């Protein structure tokens, strides 16, 4: 047997979470309800709702500082129905390992019932892709603990008024990178590629995936897979943010779809060390769906309103380069092998 495919030794029982077969079969119960104070149209709030709907009631949620902590737990109120805990900005990885280890020890000592408990630790892009990268990396090496780290990526340090992060796209207007007469484009970095980096760099990790809440059933099924596969897992979600991206809140769903259809946010998963595309990304690669020009996506957002045609052409060329040379830029080469079916369990 391939050593890499061995199942880690696990003391903690794993949940059985069957795939949801269509939106009508999704559980009706909500574990993230009313009472939060996120902006109208906040996609990250939807991510929280779908995440815990998929996981179910035996779930503990840990959240690092950011919009999804602050707006969901303000002044003695909370929209969480399941137990939750705040953790430091940058510590979603250590909070996940500590909580999973704590439950394992309590079960081993017979102090609590032996049962599957989902540990989900979420972080923003500032807290996860920048400040907490090392803690997430450490967490993904501890194969004995079952947990999911979910990075909700609104592409800025949103809670402190939209500062640029390592996840902010090229050219976007943020409070750290305002466009002006002297410099039209202040932010010239290309977005950090978290999921691919973590998949490539943590060969024992059994599940890494990207998601977008505009595709709700696909989203929930990735959460279920990550929670039930065993060991530490990671999911990266792209979340349109009306405030930071500067658009009408009614466009959140559409912008999530456009990000995938324009090829800027490929949907993929690395499950038991095999790369697999899914959803509309797979349809694009198989020729069943046309990849849309990125202009439609960019021009719906005020943060790119200063772009000239040359800027849009540059952005498009970078995406084209990714699709022709690198599916996952710089990490995973583009080839038809990525169309492999799901590996046997």
Our finding on whether 256 is near ligand SF4 (CB under 6 A) is: no
Q: Which of residues 244, 256, 279, 329 is near ligand SF4 by CB under 6 A?
A: 244
Our finding on whether 67 is near ligand TPP (CB under 6 A) is: yes
DSSP for 20-48, please give it. Answer: P-SGGGS----SB-S---PPTT-HHHHHH
3-class SS of residue 16: coil
Our finding on whether 271 is near Mg ion (CB under 5 A) is: no
Instruction: Choose between 120 and 158: whose C-beta lies nearer to Mg ion.
Output: 158
Instruction: Choose between 127 and 171: whose C-beta lies nearer to ligand TPP.
Output: 127
Q: Which of residues 12, 154, 168, 210 is near ligand SF4 by CB under 6 A?
A: 154
Cβ atoms of residues 275 and 332 within 8 Å: yes
Cβ atoms of residues 63 and 85 within 8 Å: yes
Site string for ligand SF4, 308-327 (x = CB under 6 A): --------------------
What is the rounded CA–CA span in Å between residue 248 and residue 251? 6
Interactions with Mg ion, residue window 149-208 (CB under 5 A): 154, 158
Please report where in the chains the tokens 């409070």 appear, as a residue: 175
Q: Smallest Cα–Cα separation from 165: which of 204, 132, 136?
A: 132
Our finding on whether 41 is near ligand TPP (CB under 6 A) is: no
Structure tokens at 316: 């498009």
Our finding on whether 233 is near ligand TPP (CB under 6 A) is: no
Which of ligand TPP, ligand SF4, Mg ion, none lies near 160, with the C-beta cut-off 5 to 8 A by kind?
ligand TPP
Our finding on whether 89 is near Mg ion (CB under 5 A) is: no
Structure tokens at 104: 């394992």
Which of ligand SF4, Mg ion, ligand TPP, none lies near 331, with the C-beta cut-off 5 to 8 A by kind?
none
**Closest separation between CB of residue 68 and ligand SF4, Å?**
7
DSSP for 172-221, please give it. Answer: ---SSS---SS-S----PPPP-HHHHHHHH-TT--EEEEE-TTSHHHHHH
Q: Which of residues 12, 65, 73, 174 is near ligand TPP by CB under 6 A?
A: 65
What is the rounded CA–CA span in Å between residue 337 and residue 113? 44
Instruction: Choose between 140 and 158: whose C-beta lies nearer to ligand SF4.
Output: 158
The site for Mg ion, by CB under 5 A, has a size of 5
Q: Smallest Cα–Cα separation from 208: which of 193, 220, 222, 218?
A: 222
Which of ligand TPP, Mg ion, ligand SF4, none lies near 132, with the C-beta cut-off 5 to 8 A by kind?
none
What is the rounded CA–CA span in Å between residue 255 and residue 242? 10
Interactions with ligand TPP, residue window 109-168 (CB under 6 A): 123-127, 154, 156-160, 165
Which of Mg ion, ligand TPP, ligand SF4, none lies near 89, with the C-beta cut-off 5 to 8 A by kind?
ligand TPP
3-class SS of residue 168: coil
Q: Which of residues 20, 42, 117, 119 is near ligand SF4 by CB under 6 A?
A: 42
**Closest separation between CB of residue 236 and ligand TPP, Å?**
13
**Closest separation between CB of residue 101 and ligand TPP, Å?**
23
Our finding on whether 158 is near ligand SF4 (CB under 6 A) is: yes
CA angle 48, 112, 89 (to 5 degrees): 35
Q: Give the helix/strand (H/E) hosting 344.
A: none
Task: Report the sign of the C-alpha dihedral through residues 128, 134, 137, 139, in that order.
Answer: negative
Looking at the DSSP bridge assignments, the partners of residue 238 are 153
Residues at the interface with ligand SF4 (CB under 6 A): 38-39, 42, 44, 67, 71, 154, 158, 241-244
Residues at the interface with ligand TPP (CB under 6 A): 65-68, 89, 123-127, 154, 156-160, 165
């Amino acid at each position: 047997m391939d050593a890499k495919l061995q199942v880690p030794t696990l003391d903690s029982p794993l949940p059985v979470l069957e795939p949801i077969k269509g939106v009508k079969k999704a559980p009706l119960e909500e574990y993230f309800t009313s009472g939060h104070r996120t902006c109208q149209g906040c996609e990250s709030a939807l991510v929280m709702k779908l995440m815990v709907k998929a996981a179910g009631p035996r779930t503990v949620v840990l959240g690092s500082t950011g919009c999804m902590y602050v707006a969901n737990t303000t002044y003695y109120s909370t929209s969480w129905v399941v137990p939750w805990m705040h953790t430091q900005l940058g510590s979603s990885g250590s909070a996940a390992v500590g909580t999973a280890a704590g439950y394992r020890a309590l079960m081993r000592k017979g102090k609590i019932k032996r049962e599957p408990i989902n540990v989900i630790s979420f972080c923003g892009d500032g807290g996860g892709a920048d400040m907490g990268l090392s803690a997430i990396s450490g967490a993904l090496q501890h194969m004995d603990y079952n947990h999911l780290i979910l990075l909700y990526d609104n592409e800025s340090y949103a809670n402190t008024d939209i500062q640029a992060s390592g996840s902010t796209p090229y050219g976007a207007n943020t409070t750290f990178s305002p466009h002006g007469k002297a410099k039209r484009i202040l932010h010239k970095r290309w977005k950090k590629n978290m999921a691919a980096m973590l998949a490539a760099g943590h060969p024992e990790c059994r599940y890494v995936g990207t998601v977008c809440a505009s595709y709700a059933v696909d989203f929930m099924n990735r959460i279920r897979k990550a929670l039930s596969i065993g060991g530490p897992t990671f999911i990266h979600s792209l979340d349109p943010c009306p405030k930071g991206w500067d658009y009408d809140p009614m466009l959140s769903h559409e912008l999530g779809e456009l990000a995938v259809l324009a090829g800027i946010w490929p949907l993929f998963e690395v499950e038991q060390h095999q790369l697999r595309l899914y959803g509309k990304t797979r349809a694009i690669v198989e020729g069943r769906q046309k990849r849309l020009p990125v202009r439609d996506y960019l021009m719906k957002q005020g943060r790119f309103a200063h772009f000239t045609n040359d800027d849009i052409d540059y952005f498009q060329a970078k995406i084209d380069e990714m699709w022709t040379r690198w599916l996952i830029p710089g990490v995973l080469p583009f080839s038809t092998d990525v169309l492999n079916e799901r590996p046997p369990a």
